Structure 1
């Protein structure tokens, strides 16, 4: 647990004095910054914070350590062998929704290439009674710490000045700034940037996916980047501020001054819903000390004065293949996950992220060709799982950890004399002779890959992929006699001739092996469903992807189909046979090379502009 005793910080629990005028205090503080030019580690529809173990509704661009999976954890980050950032002890992962350009003429989409990003860490610690700086009050992020900034459902300015100021967009050359996408220009000579301030006041509690922002708060006052922490969230953590810069030069002339052709991957054409996620990967003991002593942000001193640093060669060699088999680049008729464009100003409604039916843009279910069941056993579909008692209660929680497969579970259950096996949440195995308190549900609800075999499906959150002897209906009476004695829970490593039972393995997130195509990290499935009514619209029919467009120039002029007859039908491609054969959505060789524009200025937290 992340919860700490608050006794040592009792002085911080005092409500900030109304006598303090926070707007007149200098909170610049100690800080350091780093800037690097790289494309993201990968771009895929995952979010291990908000959607653990499954697909995210929309695409994100990931930077940092190459440990991206559906279940990335602090432990995974600590095992990372490299990172894109300069500070070597920082194995954290940062991500944001990808930015797309929507062709104003035929409404097709293409991902905007990222150019670079600037990452700031500020010490904003101050005494809540007086508002005076006290750098020693800063704490480091605890292990397993996670947080988000921004609101993915916004489609209009935030309700408070503080929340609205946390997100800003900039077009540099001509200079234009807004909390939503700026307009009034036809090109951004020096780049388009989206920036976001993370909250830095913590209540000492764990992240809760059902209330993802409850454990964090912005400071007292109207500003998101300066001020003392409220008594409800007394722990002062480092304040993270990130600028994400995009190369939009290839879209010059393709939109008018009155257009805002940019759309975030969550279907936002306004920019107000820009958000970002942070999963801590800092080596314990490093950041807390550095934030109290490191003030090189203003001095211009090298990062090496405060930290051990990665060389450019080490950073550039750090990469990871995407594990979601889905097209996210090139001209697309719809956003990945079929996120509808929701203009607002009302809050957006949540998207399921379900497949729109086009394999070219939305991927496919992983192949089950590697599934080998015991003789006469077969799959009977997806079923709901009860908790008390379990729907399959003959042997419960036969944990197989990282080697868990549907094949292994079925073989294990058969070896114990059971006639039904069920796998759930990617890594849980259950055995029985009857399935109780359950009902058959849509197969789409059993979309999690087995952690030990990405080509096999292992249920979902609260749902079981069920396999039975003789292929009989598991909801009927027992299909075989129960074994006389149920042995202790055993672990099965994938061999039918498993040795004596071992201690159950407590489930842990899947570690990623820094991008090898033979990684144990699962290929996350994308569930197919019929085309939505929107897909049959005139705009969709008029879409046509240009043939033989050089990948290196994939952000060149947007294709404009002359008529509906010109639309090219989507082509269904077979799913990958196994994780070792799967290819990334776009390989490194497909990424264009970008020369750095002559960026003259950088935006710094608090609205200041500093010259490089």
Structure 2
């Protein structure tokens, strides 16, 4: 069923010296009223959907989906029952599971790339206990009803949760060296055996349906201090299977790109802390199977085959189970910003929810419902949107004042008001965070408005251009490609140095902007790593923090990946290869070494039996 090195007690025992010196794995009984599945595949797809919290439309942030290939904006239990396959081994489980994707943010130029996933480990535990005595009673377990949905974690957290139990539901591990933390671990420059995020779902149910206005109300963690053991409280008396998932990431390609003092990992919801890691579950179990199995299945991690308890898929059947993404949006390759409307929010207070996130991507080729419109803009009097235009770099297409309105969270409204206050008649916003002013638009051409799809970092409902593209606004609705003779600046625009007051290291002000395209956005996943920087952008004090060398524009590679030059002192990162059936079916952990070692539940912490 599984590779020998992934399942046997002997393999787990071999890890004891590195996982935890206080646990003697050779003396543990690996039987128990639970079962586990482990598989090495990339997600079914990665896209900005969430059929639980955002049914019928786009999600604010990107998720990685695993399970049955029935993912849509409106996936239901009935849809799962029509699935003919799944990524999991257990045939009766046609559920869908998802989590926020993990991105790496280059500390030098602040660009993003999705971290490739390696494998995941899915556990189902029977934690039923008598609510009066606390004694285990496995017969009290119930199964998920049809149409059951739940979430675990809080996407708004940016610091430790209010209780140790809630915070204990989320853990991160860097394996090799072994570093554990509730948020992203730090203090290392590589994770030789992988970076893993794990999450415990609550298992106590009040018998009511999911309510989007109070998404956690129908579920509860058990009474006591642990998220994964204990009797259910009287408010939520129904004991459901306890789901625990480990998501493992391959971070080896980023070795050398960050220092021990960096934490370059960012969740797709704009979280650089890791505290907001969360996951969703949409039930797809065949009725009658899970409740019986949770009472009788006692294989635990003993190495006995999963087929002792369930009908199972072969590896070939699982690997053939595919589903293309239906949201037309770039989520892979080097990106100047996170997909969707997700400015980085560090906390420590809770993040601010983003709204009106359906800007331009389509679902199945059709515009997503409730797409944001220009109605969210408050432009200066008589000003209007002129559409999307290409931008030249030397000189800029809007060269009256470049990188204007510095130090604020950029919005199209703010940029237009700033330009108007300076006497300019044209404003343009680009890359979600750059503002330009002028009286004419030079070396430019009109492009399809849908190409300006990047949300403003200060207002998710407003569009701030794209990669080398300007969202342009003009006084009186004038054609920006014609000089606007009536506009005379009130005062001379600032010097063209884009940063008048360089921000020193440790300042609370926002990070330096990317002066132009931070990294070329290749059309395919298999494109080369970013090429060497082109001529440096004029940033003050080239030898200091935030110098031109660190924030240079990147050119589209013209050579093969092996020949692509790399910026000095910055190793190349291979773009994630396009997933192919051959790759998915042949990727297996080596038997002779414990790479991506399956460290018994949470990377070394033994479960409470």
Interval containing the TM-score (normalised by the shorter chain): 0.5 to 0.7
Deviations 1:311-358 (A, max 9, x none): 0000000000100000000000000003100000010001226367xx
Partner of 1:16: none
Partner of 2:416: none
Q: Aligned to 2:589, which of 596, 601, 606?
A: 596
Supply the distance in 1 between the matched residues of 2:604 and 2:227 (Cα, whole angstroms): 11
Partner of 2:48: 45
Q: Is the 8 A contact 2:332 2:525 kept in 1?
A: no
Partner of 2:196: 193
Partner of 2:59: 56
Partner of 1:563: 536
Partner of 1:332: 335
Partner of 1:541: 515
Partner of 2:216: 213
Partner of 1:178: 181
Q: Is the 8 A contact 1:27 1:133 kept in 2?
A: no
Unaligned segments of structure 1, at least 5 residues: 1-25, 357-361, 370-423, 427-440, 446-524, 571-584
TM-score (norm 2): 0.63
Deviations 1:200-242 (A, max 9, x none): 0000000000000000000001100000000000000000000
Supply the distance in 1 between the matched residues of 2:455 and 2:520 (Cα, whole angstroms): 25
Supply the distance in 2 between the matched residues of 1:43 and 1:86 (Cα, whole angstroms): 21
Supply the distance in 1 between the matched residues of 2:114 and 2:531 (Cα, whole angstroms): 12
Supply the distance in 1 between the matched residues of 2:582 and 2:351 (Cα, whole angstroms): 32
Deviations 1:66-114 (A, max 9, x none): 0000000000000001000000000000000000000000000000000
Pairing 1:172-571 to 2, within 5 Å after superposition = 172-352=175-355, 354=357, 363=361, 442=373, 528=453, 531-532=456-457, 538-546=512-520, 551-552=525-526, 563-564=536-537, 567=553
Runs of 4 or more consecutive aligned structure 1 residues displaced over 2 Å after TM superposition: 26-29, 352-356, 362-369, 441-445, 525-554, 556-570, 585-597, 605-610
Supply the distance in 2 between the matched residues of 1:316 and 1:541 (Cα, whole angstroms): 43
Deviations 1:232-277 (A, max 9, x none): 0000000000000000000001000111100000000000000000
Partner of 1:108: 111
Pair 277,48 (structure 1): closer, same or farther in 2 beyond 3 Å: same
Partner of 1:139: 142
Q: Aligned to 1:36, which of 29, 34, 39?
A: 39
Supply the distance in 2 between the matched residues of 1:529 and 1:260 (Cα, whole angstroms): 25
Q: Calculate the aligned-residue CA RMSD, in Å.
A: 3.5
Look up the SS of the partner of 2:599 in the other structure: strand
Pair 589,301 (structure 1): closer, same or farther in 2 beyond 3 Å: closer
Alignment length (residue pairs): 419
Q: Is the 8 A contact 2:119 2:248 kept in 1?
A: yes
TM-score (norm 1): 0.63
Deviations 1:151-205 (A, max 9, x none): 0000000110100100000000000000000001000000000000000000000
Pair 121,547 (structure 1): closer, same or farther in 2 beyond 3 Å: closer
Supply the distance in 2 between the matched residues of 1:163 and 1:561 (Cα, whole angstroms): 48
Pair 252,70 (structure 1): closer, same or farther in 2 beyond 3 Å: same
Q: Does 1:153 align with 2:189?
A: no
Pair 592,317 (structure 1): closer, same or farther in 2 beyond 3 Å: closer
Pair 185,365 (structure 1): closer, same or farther in 2 beyond 3 Å: same
Look up the SS of the partner of 2:514 in the other structure: helix
Q: Is the 8 A contact 1:333 1:543 kept in 2?
A: yes
Q: Is the 8 A contact 1:363 1:526 kept in 2?
A: no
Supply the distance in 2 between the matched residues of 1:250 and 1:549 (Cα, whole angstroms): 20
Q: Aligned to 2:605, which of 592, 603, 608?
A: 608
Partner of 1:169: 172
Supply the distance in 1 between the matched residues of 2:302 and 2:588 (Cα, whole angstroms): 28
Partner of 2:72: 69
